[in-house]
């Protein structure tokens, strides 16, 4: 029987270079607690991250880890899951990594519905590169590269995902770690592509969307007794409504996963006999030389 682990067992010895007070600490803490609560083992988890402040999170979680290139965390995570379906696969990135350069991969991951979890740390700025406006920055957001204010409208990532056919949408706030733990656990247990967007303040560059600002501008959808996370129209309504930011499980549905619909056979790639197939692979390589 495998030993029961604690959140500390999912920590690495790698020192963090996040700024003191960064919201990503809360995401990392919640993720370690969620994996421990679910009885996971590091050998059974693959953690894929992109580029940006958030991208370094894979170096701070004790598991299989892959720190990829900008915007490509989701295709890598999908490939890992298809190759070894026994792994719990989690991808992570920031609002820039997921909703800008990775936006195309994001939409296709939503529609394909692989059984992976995607954590988006949204700080509404590009923190790693000195605080430029990001896809989720408000119109008028003043930065060094937009001194007269950001001219673009912000992307509503969860609403876009819902329109593309998302099967699990949740949003949390990094200063509410207990709620983020529960949302992360629910996302990991969901059969399909689950998205957990976490409002994760940048204390160094974003002086508008601060911890205090979020505390005044968030609410939990389950506070309304009639809220039904299975009602797609209601989810669209709360995601697109002006005003406070909705948190909690916003939408959840069940549909076939990419793995169940793929034509790769029942044996994962990780279990195939590669050694006996090596002559065939060598012949294919030779044919293209």
Question: Quick check: 221 pLDDT over 80?
Answer: yes
Smallest Cα–Cα separation from 50: which of 10, 12, 95, 3? 95
Does 211 map to a domain?
yes
Does 265 map to a domain?
no
Give the three-class secondary structure for 36: helix
117-122: strand order across its sheet: 64-67, 45-49, 88-94, 117-122, 194-199, 168-173, 245-252, 218-220
Does 48 map to a domain?
yes
User: Phi, psi at residue 222, to the nearest 5°?
Assistant: -75, -5
Confidence of residue 76 (pLDDT cuts 50, 70, 90): very high
pLDDT of residue 266: 64
pLDDT of residue 2: 63
- Pure H helices in the chain: 24-37, 73-83, 95-96, 103-112, 157-163, 177-189, 211-216, 232-240, 258-261, 274-287
> Residue 16 is encoded by which pair of tokens?
């963090």
Does 272 map to a domain?
no
Give the three-class secondary structure for 276: helix
Does 172 map to a domain?
yes
Mind listing the pLDDT tens digit for each residue in 182-201? 999 999 999 999 999 999 99
Calculate the alpha carbon distances from 202 to 44, 128, 182, 213, 230 in Å. Answer: 31, 10, 23, 12, 32
Query: Rounded to whole angstroms, how far apart are CA atoms 184 and 188?
Result: 6
Confidence of residue 285 (pLDDT cuts 50, 70, 90): confident
pLDDT of residue 23: 92
Does 235 map to a domain?
yes
Q: How many domains does the chain have?
A: 1
pLDDT of residue 265: 65
Calculate the alpha carbon distances from 87 to 47, 90, 158, 264, 278 in Å. Answer: 10, 9, 25, 17, 25
Average pLDDT over residues 206-228: 94
Confidence of residue 153 (pLDDT cuts 50, 70, 90): very high
Give the three-class secondary structure for 168: strand
Mind listing the pLDDT tens digit for each residue in 261-272? 987 766 666 677
CATH, residue 109 = 3.40.50.970
Query: Rounded to whole angstroms, how far apart are CA atoms 243 and 238?
Result: 10
Mind listing the pLDDT tens digit for each residue in 235-249? 999 999 999 999 999
pLDDT of residue 51: 87
Integer-rounded Cα Rg, in Å, for the chain is 20
Q: Residue 65's beta-bridge partner residues?
A: 47
pLDDT of residue 113: 97
Calculate the alpha carbon distances from 213 to 201, 245, 253 in Å. Answer: 10, 11, 32
Does 137 map to a domain?
yes
pLDDT of residue 277: 67
pLDDT of residue 129: 83
Query: Rounded to whole angstroms, how far apart are CA atoms 70 and 174?
Result: 23
Does 16 map to a domain?
yes
Q: Give, for 46, the enclosing helix (H) or strand (E).
A: strand 45-49
User: Phi, psi at residue 164, to the nearest 5°?
Assistant: -85, -5
* Host domain of residue 211: 7-259
């Amino acid at each position: 029987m495998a030993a029961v682990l604690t959140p500390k067992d999912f920590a690495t010895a790698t020192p963090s270079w996040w700024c003191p007070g960064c919201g990503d600490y809360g995401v990392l803490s919640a993720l370690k607690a969620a994996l421990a609560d679910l009885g996971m083992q590091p050998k059974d988890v693959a953690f894929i991250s992109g580029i940006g402040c958030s991208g370094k999170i894979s170096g701070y979680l004790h598991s299989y880890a892959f720190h990829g290139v900008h915007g490509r965390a989701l295709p890598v995570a999908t490939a890992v899951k298809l190759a070894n379906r026994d792994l719990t696969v989690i991808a992570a990135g920031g609002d820039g990594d997921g909703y800008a350069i990775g936006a195309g991969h994001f939409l296709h991951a939503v529609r394909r519905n692989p059984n992976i979890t995607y954590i988006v740390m949204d700080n509404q700025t590009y923190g790693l590169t000195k605080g430029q406006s990001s896809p989720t920055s408000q119109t008028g957001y003043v930065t060094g590269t937009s001194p007269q204010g950001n001219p673009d409208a912000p992307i509503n990532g969860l609403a876009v995902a819902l329109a593309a056919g998302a099967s699990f949408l949740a949003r949390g706030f990094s200063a509410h770690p207990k709620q983020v733990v529960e949302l992360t656990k629910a996302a990991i247990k969901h059969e399909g592509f689950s998205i957990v967007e976490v409002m994760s303040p940048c204390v160094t560059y974003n002086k508008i969307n601060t911890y205090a600002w979020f505390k005044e501008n968030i609410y939990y959808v389950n506070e309304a007794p009639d809220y039904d996370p299975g009602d797609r129209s209601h989810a669209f309504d709360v995601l697109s409504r002006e005003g406070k930011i909705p948190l909690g499980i916003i939408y959840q549905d069940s549909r076939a996963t990419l793995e169940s619909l793929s034509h790769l056979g029942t044996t994962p790639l990780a279990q195939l006999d590669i050694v006996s197939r090596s002559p065939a692979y060598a012949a294919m390589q030779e044919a293209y030389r």
